[in-house]
Amino acid sequence: MKSANLYKGSLTTIILKLLNEHDKMYGYEITQRVKEITKGELQITEGALYPSLHKLEAEGLLDVEFVRVNNRLRKYYKLTELGTKETVNKLAELEDYIRTMRALVNPKFRFEE
């Protein structure tokens, strides 16, 4: 991964977006999906992922479900109704941010009126 700091602020949005596309996901699955989509460019570490998931769960944006798999318990996360609404807001915020950054780094790019 090139610059982890650039991705840090977007971790919550990435998690919400992935959960919005899947019915439910578990931690390891999220890390692997991100790695796959970004072709290894972005690798989410356990130390960053789980605290974010727990924070989103505590805020009521995620609901959890436990399933016994291969001799252990697996914790699945899924979006709550509030989480689905928050995903829309977070994605809009991220798109705004990307447009702003693009305008700053690429002078030819102009904001649409």
Interface residues with another protein (CB under 8 A)? 26-28, 32, 45-48, 50-51, 54-55, 58, 64, 66-75
**Looking at beta carbons only, is 2 or 72 nearer to another protein?**
72
Burial classification of residue 88, based on how many CB atoms lie within 10 Å of its CB (0-12 exposed, 13-18 middle, 19 or more buried):
exposed
Smallest gap from residue 77 Cβ to another protein (A): 10
**Looking at beta carbons only, is 32 or 89 nearer to another protein?**
32
**Looking at beta carbons only, is 17 or 75 nearer to another protein?**
75
The sign one gets for the Cα dihedral 79, 93, 50, 1 is positive
For residues 44 and 31, the answer to whether their CB atoms sit within 8 Å is yes
Smallest gap from residue 86 Cβ to another protein (A): 16
Measured in degrees and rounded to the nearest 5, phi and psi for residue 93 equal -60, -45
